[in-house]
Each structure stands twice: as structure tokens, then as C-alpha cells.
Structure 1
Amino acid sequence: RKHPEQQFLKLNTQNILFICGGAFDGLEKIIAKRLNTNVIGFKSGAENHSGSRDEVIHLVNHHDLKKFGIIPELLGRLPVLAYLEKLTKDDLIRILTEPKNALVSQYKKLFEIDGIEIEFTKDALEMISQQAIDNKLGARGLRSICEKVLTDPMFYGVKESRLVVDSEYLKTKLNLAEIPLSA
């Protein structure tokens, strides 16, 4: 309740599935510390898990999340823990192009309203995806990158009835000297 006079509302959560997610930056250090300090005896052959985030994050447990700062009352209501892999460049390209309301399709329809045909080349899609990875933006960053690249032609138009978004176009719009196309 936000106001003192506001009434409380009861909500039966018995049949509600709660899904929580987040980046949990720094959680990998807690997991690695737990894994390296649980070794008993002389060189007991335990694996050293002080590697990268991707190597240890899949070993997360409730104790790690409690140490991270999540209250036990919430953790008790989350019986299943799962981790997600980082999105690859190919995953991001698929997100740009494959879903029913994919970003590329949305921009094609927006430009079509003004009588402009827009085409994204394969190397442009790779560069947009790589930019999202480099900036650690994930799939959410795809829209902001596309907006930065397409704002001028959307509002000021283009001279021709066709706009080709390729690597050269992206380099000028994103002020990039060179973006490697392979990860």
C-alpha cells in the first residue's frame, strides 16, 4: 500500500508460478569461493572453479544467493534454480529476424509506410549483434542499436525509395572504424 488510508488487498498465490531473473553481477565470485573452500584433505582432487563466470555460474545454489543478498523468505519460495547461457551472435541474429514481430520486420513495415523499401544485409545483422555483445546489452540492446542507426532516415527520409543497411552504412552511423565480423 502506498497511502496510509489505502486498504490491503489479499492475493492467493497458491497457484501462481513465480519466475525471477537477473544478471546477479558478482555471484560467480561467491560460487567460486564456496567451491574452493570446501576442499578437505591434501589435494583431494577437487576441481578448481576459479575460472570464468560461465564455468561456475551453473553451480549456483540457494546458499550462494543468500550470501549474494537475497532474503531467505524469497529464496524459500523459489524451489528450482536455473541459469541461462549468454546469447551468441547467431542467437541475436535470429532474434532480429525470425520471430513474428522481429525488429527487422518492424522496421520494414515502418519504412514501408513512407514508401521506402529497407534491406538489412547479413553483415549488417552480424555487426548489430556483435555491437550488442561488445556493449554487454544482450537482446535488449538490439533495439537501441537499430534506433541509433535508423533514426535519421525514419524522420528525415531518404533520397531513394530503397535503403540498404550494410556494414559501411553501420560504420558511419555508429562511428565505428572497424568491427570484426567473427566473435
Structure 2
Amino acid sequence: MENLKPSEIVKELDKYIIGQNKAKKSVAIALRNRWRRQQVPDDLRDEIAPKNIILIGPTGVGKTEIARRLSKLTDSPFNKVEASKFTEVGYVGRDVESMVRDLLELTVNAVKSKEQEDVKEKAMIIAEERMLDILLPKTNRQEVDNKNESGETGLEPVNAESTDLSATRNKLRDMLRKGKLDDRIIDLDVSERQMPVIEVFSNLGMEEMGVNFKDMLGGLMPKNTKKRKVKVSEAMEILTLDESQRLVDMDKVVKSAILKVEQSGIIFIDEIDKIVGKNGGSGPDVSREGVQRDLLPIVEGSTITTKYGPVKTDHILFIASGAFHAVKPSDLIPELQGRFPIRVELEALGQKEFVRILKEPKNALLIQYIAMLKTEGVNIVFEPEAIEEIARIAEEVNNHTENIGARRLHTIMECLLEDILFDAPDMPGKDVVIDANSVSSKLNDIKDNEDLSRYIL
């Protein structure tokens, strides 16, 4: 973060997201403020609260993508949740605190994987020794310790047999490293723990208990070992993974993950407008305001109990988003509104933006389809007029049916290239040119038939 200025964050986001400069600027400032908070004196650091953001705009304009790319850019723990999945405590459904537990779980797994990667070389050396023990078992004579009269262990005398074994072991080690033994089949003891499947509580009950039954019961269950016949190459992978898991200090992993979540976690709450109850709430709306009240202490800053220990949410950055068609951000309860001081309205996408989305991002749709068809030996070329026509039709369909933003391009591209994608394996080496006429002839009939376009496009 020290090297990432807000302007550079926006520049990185521009590689994947077209337009929406106001939203990019807001999230870049919020992210930079985190680094600034770390630099201020300790007595002031805890007083600086994160500036949470509400992104307002229709579906498919880049709200989720902005938050996801932001987390990848800074290697921040990230969790996306749908606000509509939560219910007020006392109703059947997910508890809002589970968003923090899920974020921590994801972060623990990510930190553990990184730690395993860091000790992989050491694990491979240990796994290699275990493999050599399997390929060249020690003799009984070597395994028995020589003891002198006082009971102390003495040194085993070096003889011709042990020298031969050492030479054979080194020869096998050399063959193993060169891959000459990869296809040899060996018997490997693989540990597996038998876990009974017991359903005692609902989702809500399990979360409220805050106890990890699987881990608790797993410790009581005996470990069973099962002999499997595997190739040496596969056995080396199994042994390396086993050793890397043993070398990782889980206490250190958990401590690091909790710190990472507390200081740089990002929770993206999608569809926050769906938990705004309409006037005179009854029936399905009855628990919506309750979800907002349950959400409030988490966003304000509280301590959540997890199976790994308590987690403080005071400095987690919350980014909420919603279309806000039927309701307004001001319809949220006042306390929750106050916890999202930054509000950004994202612009609806039109033909110009669709043309850029098709061509410019690093993961642009056209680049994806060209790369996929190249695997079949088919070279596909999109003429500029064809791209303009695809964008025009996408805008028109969005205006006449439901506006789903850039996601409309996915449905149109699939419909346009359906026959080519189907026949591609039978036409290797062929060049296919997509021009404006082929786009019009393929899509206009569907677009003009309103009933068909609703279902297909």
C-alpha cells in the first residue's frame, strides 16, 4: 500500500473495469486511508474509523468487480455476501455474524496455503527421505540400537553392508530426482479419519454455538490408515503435502489471519436495498429491519466470537451495493446510514461503454472467445463494425427488457457464436470473420421478436 497512490489504484482498476471513475476514486481513497491510519500515532490509530461506502447502481455495471479487484490488488481478505440471505435473529436463516466467520475461514485457508508453499522445499526433502525408506526398507540389524553395559546407546560399527546400503540409497535418491522411478507402483499408507455425519443443529444454531463440532469430534476419532497402490510420482505429492501440513504452525497461521482480517478485511454486502422494509412491514418484510439492526453493531465495530477466537470488526472496510430501484439509501435505518458516509452512484452502461468492455479490459470478452477457439485451431476475427453492432443490440435489448448491464453481452455473445462453438472441433485451421451482417442476421430476428428476446437475450 505504501507504493500504491490513489491514482495508481484507479489505473489498475481501469485494466479490468470500464468507466465508473467516481466509484473507483472513492474506493481508492478508502483504501489509501487504511495505509494512512497505520502511520499515525498509536493513541490516534484506534480512533480512526474506516469510511464505508454504498455503491448505488443497476446490476451489471461493475459494483462487485470493483470490490473484488480492489481486494486482489492489495491482497486483502475479501468476502462477498448477499444481504437478502440474512434474517433477524429468531427467524430461520443465516446470522449476520456469519459474514465475519466466513471471512476469517477464507483468510485462515489462504494464509495456511501460503505457509505450506513457503515450507514446500523443506517438506520435499523430508518426503524424499520417507520415500527412500519405502523403496529401501531398513534391515532389522540396522534398526536395533547397540547398547553398552551402562544402558547408553552406542554407535553402530560401520561395516561393508551399511556402506553398500548407503551407496544404494544415494543411487535411488539420484534416480528419484531424475524421475526414473516415477512410474513404479508402491504401497503407501494414507491416513484417513472416519467422520460420522451427524446433523444436530440448523445453520443458525451451529453459528450461535460458536463451536466447531467437526474439529472437536475429529480429535476423538482414531486415525485409520489405508494402504493404497500409487505411482512414486503421486506418492511424492501425497508425502510432500503431508509433511508441509506438519511443518506449518497453525497457531501462528490463526494469529496472522485474525490480524489480517481485523486490519485489512473487506466485506462486500450486495443487495443491501433488499433488506429495506416497505412501509407497514408485514409478512415477508417483517425481519428486514431486524437484519439492519443486527448488521449495525458489526459495521459500527464489535467483537465476533469464532472458532479461532474473538475477531474485532472496528477496522474492517464494508462496501455495500444495491440497485435502489424501489427504495432509496435514505430508507435504511438512520444509524446504519451514518455508518456508510460515502455514497457513489454508478452510471448505467450504453453502447460506447459496451464497445470498450468488449475490447479493452485484460479479460475482455472478445479476447476470451478468441483464446478458447484457438484451442480448437480456429482463428476468429471480429471486425470493428461487428463489435459496434453487438454493443448496439445489447443496449437495445437492455432498454426493452430488463437492464442487466454488461452481463447482457455474455448472453448475446453466446447466442452469436453458438454454431461456431458447436462446430469448432470439426473445422481446425479455419479462419472465421464476424462482420456486421453476420451479427445482424443472427440476432435481429430474435431481438425483434419480443417474446423470444426475453427468453434468449
* 8 Å CA contact retained: 2:389, 2:440: no
More helix by share: 2
Instruction: Tell me: CA distance 1:19–1:167, structure 2 relative to 1, closer, same or farther (3 Å).
Output: same
Q: How many residues align?
A: 141
CA distance in 1, matches of 2:356, 2:410: 14
Aligned mate of 1:101, from 363, 368, 371: 363
For 1:133 and 1:11, the matched residues in 2 are separated by 45
Measure the CA separation in 2 of the matches of 1:20 and 1:131: 31
> Could you give the per-residue CA deviations for residues 72-118 of structure 1, whole angstroms, max 9, x where no partner exists?
34322211111122223222111111111111111110111111111
Q: In 2 relative to 1, CA 3–126 (structure 1 residues): closer, same or farther, beyond 3 Å?
A: same
Alignment identity in percent? 36
- 1:15 is paired with a residue whose SS is coil
User: For the residues of structure 1 that align with 2:352 and 2:444, how far apart are their CA atoms?
Assistant: 23
- The aligned counterpart of 2:108 is none
Tell me which residue corresponds to 2:322: 22
Verify: 1:66 aligned to 2:330, yes or no: yes
Take 1:149 and 1:21, find their aligned partners in 2: how far apart are those partners?
32
TM normalised by structure 2 equals 0.28
The one-letter code sitting in structure 2 at the alignment partner of 1:167 is A
Q: How far, CA to CA, are the matches of 2:446 and 2:410 in structure 1?
A: 21
CA contact under 8 A between 1:129 and 1:142: conserved in structure 2? yes
Trace 1:30-179 onto structure 2 (pairs within 5 A): 64-67=328-331, 70-134=332-396, 135=398, 136-157=403-424, 161-176=430-445
Q: Quick check: 128-137 or 115-124, which moved more? A: 128-137
- Residue 24 to residue 132, structure 1, CA distance change in 2 (3 Å): farther
- Alpha-carbon RMSD across the aligned residues, in angstroms, is 2.5
> Whose RCO is larger (CA < 8 A, sep 6+)?
2
For structure 1, the 5+ residue unaligned runs are 28-63
Q: 1:40: which partner in 2? A: none
Q: Which amino acid aligns with 2:390?
A: I
Question: CA–CA distance in 2 between the matches of 1:117 and 1:3?
Answer: 52
Change (3 A) 1:73 1:165: farther
- Residue aligning to 1:58: none
| The structure with more radius of gyration | 2
* 2:246 corresponding residue in structure 1: none
In structure 2, C-alpha distance between the alignment counterparts of 1:73 and 1:16, rounded to whole Å: 18
Deviation at 1:131, TM superposition (A): 2.2
Unaligned runs of 5+ in 2: 1-94, 96-202, 211-304, 449-457
State the SS of the aligned residue for 1:133.
helix
1:178 CA drift (Å):
8.8
> Take 1:150 and 1:23, find their aligned partners in 2: how far apart are those partners?
31
Q: Deviations over 1:107-156 (max 9, x none)?
A: 11011111111111112211221222222232121112111111221122
The secondary structure found in structure 2 opposite 1:21 is: strand
Gap change, CA 1:106 and 1:143, over 3 Å in 2 = same
Q: 1:152 to 1:178 in 2, by over 3 A?
A: closer
TM-score, L = length of structure 1: 0.66
Q: Is the 8 A contact 1:171 1:178 kept in 2?
A: no
